[in-house]
Structure 1
Amino acid sequence: MKSFYILAFILTSTSITIAQQISGPQLLDKAIQYHDPQGHWSTFNDTLNITMTMPESNARTSQIVINIPKEYFSVTAKKDTVTTQYTIIKDSCTISLNGNKKLTNKQIKSNNLSCDRATLYKNYYTYLYGLPMKLKDKGTIISPEAKTVNFKSKTYLQLQVNYNAEVGKDVWYFYFNPKTYAIEMYQFYKTDNIGQVDTNTGEYIILNDIKTVNGIKIPKIRTWYYNKDDKYLATDNLN
């Protein structure tokens, strides 16, 4: 029995040492190998159907089409009786409201419609649903070291990510399963005027389940919370 405990201690200590020794770039490569083992993200062409639920609000359904080779993006979102559609093809943008593309200034303003918003949606969905592969994008600064951390009673390998000024000022932390290297959570904070993290800002997103799309393992359920007080925000479900 004594020898069993010694062996268990050695195995546990070894796994912790390996986790501590892995570099940030190595962790990212292992995570990409888990999620996109055949390198399909660069040729991704598929449709994502997402349902968002929020407290005290009706659900919003979104159909998102991403075709990376053709630089095509479209999101059709429906909530209550309103349906909006944004489409971007390379540098061109089109907008429709309830199927109508000929919109008045009043309709555009009251529904907050713009091509800038279309670009925001494109960047948002391709970034979050393209993780961790999107962390290879230009302007991304990967921390040289990965850390073993505990969050909500779970152990993760944590990767810190910063961005060049022209890309963004937020600081992101990505949390990976230490055995499979699957991404299981991420978190971001705003920074102040001198570049320091403001811990009262930002959100953390817990990921559950996996759905394989185009050969890529994509987290199915994303649950959003505020960093400041753990207040629940919303849940995105990839149908």
Structure 2
Amino acid sequence: MRKLFLILVILSFSSCQFEERSVESATELVEKSIQFHDPNQMWGSFSGTFSIKDSLPNGRASRRYEVSFQNQLNKVHYRNDDLEFIVWEDSVQVFKGEIKKDRALMLRNYYSYLWGLPMKLMDPETKVEEEILVEDLDGKSYQVVRIPYEKDTWYFYFDPESAQLEAYKFYQDEVKQKGEIIFLEGLVEFEGLRIPKNRSWYRTEKEEFLGTDQLISIQSQNSN
């Protein structure tokens, strides 16, 4: 009986230690999420094409476009019916339509960042606040990571069990709660990568739907 009691005490102590170890820092939570979305660490060398459709409110026409990434080269190739351009490092080459260089560079960074989440959260210039926050969103409790950038403050919402990234929001003015929140739904899988399929955008300061980006497919691409 005494031996049984000691075994139960040891098991109870071990269980408590396991629970304590499962309480992660924000960096560890991000790493766990990356393990879910990119277990083979593909994103840094990814070379492929995303086919995307957006759905806009108020009867505005949907658009289809493609974005090709060659991440090792910091290169993005964008094309739709009216516009086609390549950004490679700080160079811009326009094949169809018109776009200013600053705008093209911004779009390269925009697509590389948002479609590369959560992997992009481990970029060297990203400063993760280590406290894990807890917040209810749409009736579900999330583990939340806060990351302040130079112009915006971002919050990332992770499933507490799998660490899947399910939403994020950013504030241009956090005091006034002015910004946007993006809900993620579904996954597109490609050679181990799990990229969110649908991204639905809303304003944070008022109830306003801005649109949904839908990832139709991912295709591999030979380097050019």
Q: TM-score range by the shorter chain?
A: 0.7 to 0.9
Within-5 A mapping of 1:4-43: 21-43=23-45
Q: Given the two structures, how large is their TM-score scaled by the length of structure 2?
A: 0.83
Does the 8 Å CA contact 2:33/2:118 hold for their aligned counterparts? Answer: yes
Aligned 8 A contact 1:74 1:87 in 2: yes
Question: Which position in structure 1 is the counterpart of 2:93?
Answer: 94
Q: Which residue of 1 aligns with 2:77?
A: 74
What are the equivalent positions in structure 2 for 1:76-225 lying under 5 Å apart?
76-78=79-81, 83-97=82-96, 108=98, 113-163=99-149, 168-191=150-173, 197-225=174-202
Amino acid at match of 1:222: R
Q: Percent of pairs identical after alignment?
A: 32
Structure 2 residue matching 1:27: 3-state secondary structure = helix
Q: CA deviation at 1:171?
A: 0.4
Point out where structure 1 has 5 or more consecutive residues left out of the alignment.
1-13, 99-107, 192-196
Q: How far apart are residue 92 of structure 1 and its match?
A: 2.1
8 Å Cα contact 1:129/1:218 also seen in 2: yes
Structure 1 residue 216: deviation in Å?
A: 1.2
Query: Per the alignment, do residues 96 and 142 of structure 1 end up closer, same or farther by CA in structure 2, a change over 3 Å counting?
Result: same
Give how far 1:21 is off: 3.3
Q: Distance in 2 between matches of 1:50 and 1:205?
A: 16
Q: Does 1:48 align with 2:15?
A: no
**How far did 1:183 drift?**
0.1
The total of aligned residue pairs comes to 199
Deviation at 1:18, TM superposition (A): 5.9
Matched residues in 2 for 1:223 and 1:170: separation? 19
Taking only aligned residues, the RMSD between alpha carbons, in angstroms, comes to 2.0
Please identify runs of 4+ aligned residues in structure 1 that moved more than 3 A.
Answer: 17-21
Return 5+ residue gaps in structure 2 as ranges: 1-15, 217-224
Corresponding position of 2:209: 232
1:19, 1:157 within 8 Å by CA — same for their partners in 2? no
Residues 95-152 of structure 1: per-residue CA shift (max 9 Å, x gap): 1335xxxxxxxxx4xxxx2111111111011100101110111221111111221012
The aligned counterpart of 2:61 is: 58
TM-score, normalised relative to structure 1: 0.78
> Amino acid of the residue matched to residue 29 of structure 2?
L
Look up the equivalent residue of 1:210 and give its one-letter code.
L
TM-superposed CA distance for 1:214, in Å, is 4.3
Q: Which residue of 2 aligns with 1:101?
A: none
1:155: Cα distance to partner?
1.0
CA distance in 2, matches of 1:218, 1:230: 27
Contact 1:46 1:213 in 2 (8 A): no
**Counterpart AA for 2:32:** K
Structure 1 residue 213 displacement after superposition:
2.8
**Aligned partners of 1:31 and 1:182 also within 8 Å:** yes
Mean alpha-carbon deviation: is it higher for 36-45 or for 83-92?
Answer: 83-92
Deviations 1:173-220 (A, max 9, x none): 0000111100000000013xxxxx233311000000001134311000
What amino acid maps onto 1:228 in structure 2? E
Distance 1:238 1:139 in 2: 27
Partners of 1:19 and 1:147 within 8 A in 2 = no
